[in-house]
Amino acid sequence: MIEIQGTVIQIIYYNQDNYYTVAKFKPGSGKTLTMVGNLPPLSPGEPLLITGEWVRHKEYGEQFQVQEWERKIPKTLLGIERFLGGGMIKGIGKATAAKIVRKFGLESLEIIENTPERLAEIPGISLKKALKINAGLKEQAAIQQIMVFLQGVGISPAYALKIYRVYSNEAINVVSENPYRLADDVFGIGFKIADQIAEKLGIGKDSPYRIRAGIRYLLNEVSAEGHVFAIESDFLTKASQELDLNELQLAAEVEELILQKEVFREKTSDFTALYAAPFYYSEVGAAAKIQALLGIQLKPVPIDPETLLKDFAATSEITLAAKQKEAVINALKFGMMVITGGPGTGKTTIIKAIIQLFAMARMPVLLAAPTGRAAKRLAETTGQEAKTIHRLLGYGNESKNGGKFQRNEKEPLTAEALIIDEFSMVDLPLFYNLLKAVTPGTRLIMVGDVDQLPSVGPGSVLRDLIQSQVIPTVRLDVIFRQAEASLIVANAHKINRGEFPYLSTAQDFFFIAKPEPEQVVQTIIELVKTRISGYLQCDPLEDIQVLTPMRRTITGVENLNLNLQAALNPPQTDKDELQFGANIFRVGDKVMQLKNDYQKLVFNGDIGKIREIDNEERTLSVAYQDADAERVIIYESEELDQLVLSYAISVHKSQGNEYPVVIMPVTTQHFLMLQRNLLYTAVTRAKKMVVIIGTKKAIAIAVKNNRIEERHSLLQQRIKAAYRESW
């Protein structure tokens, strides 16, 4: 093994999934070399001692393969300046680092560590900032210790900062005693990484810690696929393979988890279901709440519904069709109801009518939608206040309410009616929390398109409600005259019926034939940057959204984002940017949140724009659109793995949102994801224009494939059973 001490010069490539790094490295003496290996996030200027061997890559030539590494304290003025200004220590950027080294020279690090108040002698550094720099240096020393420990158990320490943030000085003790806690406590560390750590620490495969953590992990994997529960026989077979254990060992620990009420078992005539506790409580609780809402005696509407409809027609000059009238009357008549239909069928008109009728009857109404964009659109189209569901239910700062919804049975919402738009996006846990906050006697009106993709979270709530045949439902199937002129609307319905869409030249629906993926990418860039933005006089970032079926492949989310960022928001000398691994975030970038963060109140799929970057503090600020205003959220450096670029996003992540222009690549590269409801969902996201780029063959595959992914759920059956009991 060869040891080389030197400095990181440049990060060429960094893979966040496996930490594989390619970087330029300058030894203390000699030529700059290329080093490769699984390493933590590095910054240019970091001094390292690397241990490994020389290897020859058939394409890139000689490289140094790093097996072990250690951060070193720099000894030269240039090394100290690079180390301090490399971004590892909060409060110090390149400019501040240069000032410190000019003032204190080779004593800089010693002064920061032992007499930090002296930093205040430098203009621009307050005592508060000096102490913060001191804390940052000490924190780096603690993190270094964790990194060395993790390296010793065979895991890349890229997560060291997160582990330190969660456990502080107890990090090594926690990991040593039960590494499986990491999977529950630290975002980004799943069971598999914890399992690798446990193996290195000598924890056996049959450890109860491991088996229970594995069961919880695999049940969460099931829910990540949209299922509410796992079928026990299938689950035990898969778990046996995944965990390399026999089914008897697994079954014994399942029983233990059932005793602890972390897992629930439910037997049906066809199979036995295993639920993670939160989803069991949500499904059983939702069915009970529905029974109560449907069975309650409603406060009568003080004016005859037919009179209300006549007055509405006279004042609004809108004549409702038969199905629309039925929907409005049901909204007045029942404790719960569903309105579903495709684009152009008048869902928005019905919402407006219901609001006006309740207003005429002096009965207050609340409006909500799953996302900030959808809530804002609802407010704009109705002229009434609308909130996200989370905001409506009072999910605030965890320190204030314990990380729970403030609105529930004890403090319910007060209104005569509650209208939820874009209801196809609502998953089972959110639905249950919503039901808990609905006062018995409040009319719950759910509006959405059941033919779109189901929610990202577990369950198929809207589909289950409709198929239960217990909830009064109105399906709108007539396209109104003003929508008939739109090929977006016409083609959406053709796709939904399994018919090939019209691809002739039209004002709002275009098809561009490009057989090669590289041609598709180049065409998308041209369309966004100049052709469409120039034609419609629109903002390429705000008004145009690229949707794609897959993350990877040439025409997938990741590659399209890199290309679109380079075209739409290239680097500039006066534009701040922040490197996180191989990703570069730049002021002006469109970004998307990847996980629900209940403290920040940003949720999986929310899209914002980077407003500001502070390179000294290693933070960036993202502006998100709420229903009523723009909200700015600050991200620390260790939280940046929650963000990705969003010039292009998956169709699933677009649910509940509308965009003036949608561009979608549809190629046979996406064969596995080409489904009718996916194409339908993408087309219905557009208001003014749809552009599909690819091949007719790929479109035909999608249109013909009506395979709807069945999700394991018993909500429909529970609703039926509860309804039979009440009658």
The whole-number average pLDDT for the span 395-418 is 75
The whole-number average pLDDT for the span 696-723 is 90
∠ CA 428-430-433, nearest 5°, is: 110
How do residues 453-499 score in pLDDT, each as one tens digit?
888 889 999 999 999 999 999 999 888 756 667 899 999 999 999 99
Alpha carbon 594 to its chain's center = 3
Query: Quick check: 393 and 405 in contact, CB under 8 A?
Result: yes
Query: Quick check: 384 and 355 in contact, CB under 8 A?
Result: yes
Strands (E), 293-412: 336-341, 365-369, 387-388
Report the pLDDT value the prediction gives residue 154, as an integer from 0 to 100: 60
Q: Using the predicted structure, report yes or no on whether residue 107 has a pLDDT greater than 60.
A: yes
pLDDT band at residue 321, thresholds of 50, 70 and 90? Answer: confident
How do residues 650-661 score in pLDDT, each as one tens digit?
998 888 788 999
Report the pLDDT value the prediction gives residue 23, as an integer from 0 to 100: 93
How do residues 43-73 score in pLDDT, each as one tens digit?
777 788 999 999 998 888 999 999 888 877 7
How do residues 563-580 score in pLDDT, each as one tens digit?
999 999 999 988 998 877
Q: How many of the other CB atoms lie within 10 Å of CB of 643?
A: 22
Residues in Cβ contact with 145 at an 8 Å cutoff, skipping those fewer than 6 apart: 172
**For residue 348, what are the CA distances in angstroms to 351, 355, 364, 505, 687?**
5, 11, 19, 28, 14
Query: Quick check: 113 and 83 in contact, CB under 8 A?
Result: no
Report the pLDDT value the prediction gives residue 630, as an integer from 0 to 100: 84
**For residue 493, what are the CA distances in angstroms to 23, 451, 507, 683?**
52, 10, 18, 10
Q: Using the predicted structure, report yes or no on whether residue 211 has a pLDDT greater than 70.
A: yes
Q: Using the predicted structure, report yes or no on whether residue 581 has a pLDDT greater than 90.
A: no
Which of the residue ranges 128-142, 263-277, 457-471, 651-665 would you say has the lowest mean pLDDT?
128-142
Residue 592 Rama label (left phi>0; alpha psi -120 to 50; beta): beta
Q: Work out the end-to-end distance of the chain between its first and last CA atoms, rounded to an integer number of angstroms.
A: 78
In angstroms, how far apart are the furthest CA atoms of the chain?
Answer: 91
Ordered strands of the 387-388 beta sheet: 387-388, 365-369, 417-420, 443-448, 336-341, 473-476
